[in-house]
Amino acid sequence: MTDEKNTPLIVGFVADLMFATKIENVAQQLGYRVHWVENAAIMGKFDPRVLEETPGELLHGREGQLFEAITNWQPALLIFDLTNKQIPWQQWIGILRSSPATRRIPILCFGPHEDVEIMQRAKKLGATQVVARSRFTSELPSLLQKLVRVPNREALTKACTEPLAETAVKGIELFNQGKFFDAHEELELAWKADKGPGRNLYRAILQIAVAYLQIERGNYRGAVKMFWRVRQWLDPLPDVCRGVNVAALRQHAEAVYEQLMALGEARITELDRSLFQPIQYTQPE
């Protein structure tokens, strides 16, 4: 049985059946899975409120659903067909590249070689690589192998066997006391001092602390954005890392996020603070 969680996911914004079939077949041969977003309607309707939003993650309408989906899926690669008129790729590549929640995801674009303008436009927007359709077809296996971003789970698992940094322990204790700002300060010190993959544990906890702090301050937008951003650090971690019960942390954070989204901005003060559960951890004797 395939371990879907550990199988790299490619999201294809492609409607052309010929290219979709080619991508699907090559991806399967390489051990990847593919999810298709053939048109923008899959993400819902356009909401004019996005025109008034600040740069970064957009919360409303189909763009809000795009961020919700991409941060939830945590894809290893995004593929855009630049001739797919059913996808507003110029807008979507731009906002995905501008967001801390999604900017690390590689983007591969393909289009007609004779349309130099759109190829250059995609590059300017921040696509990782832009190729002509002929090259995309002939070199697809090597392109996917080059661009698909796969976490080094072996290195991460090894790093998770190390003990918690002293500043991280202080930060977790402050978190468990509901002192989320102070917890962030200590955890940031631990994150900056750690140069290995285990630092992502500290970054995940500090961003959850910031999300909870934003809720306490009534900042709905700030809280939602932080929950979206933390997924890239929290999701790849093993269920236990440096003595921290990451599985429980994920569950608790997701419960807060779900209630936050259900309540909406106008009712953020009604969020049940008892959902702010303490972090479970043990230290070696």
Taking only the tens place, the pLDDT of each residue in 46-87 is 556 655 555 566 676 888 899 999 999 999 999 999 999 999
Q: 């979206």: which residue's tokens?
A: 228
Element (H, E) at 26: helix 17-29
Secondary structure class of 44 (helix, strand, coil): coil
The percent of residues in the chain predicted with pLDDT above 90, rounded, is 86
The per-residue pLDDT for 2 is 45
Rounded to an integer, the average pLDDT of 88-105 is 94
Residues 181 and 208: their CA atoms lie apart, in Å, by 11
Q: In whole numbers, what is the pLDDT of the chain averaged over residues?
A: 93
Helices (H), strands (E): how many in the chain?
12, 7
| pLDDT band (50, 70, 90) for residue 256 | very high
**Total-model pTM:** 0.91
Give the DSSP H or E segment for 3: none
CATH of 4-147, one of 3.30.450.40, 3.40.50.2300, 1.10.1740.10, 3.30.160.100: 3.40.50.2300
CATH number of 155-275: 1.10.3450.10
Separation of CA 276 from chain center: 22
Residue 5 burial class via C-beta count within 10 angstroms: exposed 0-12, middle 13-18, buried 19 and up: exposed
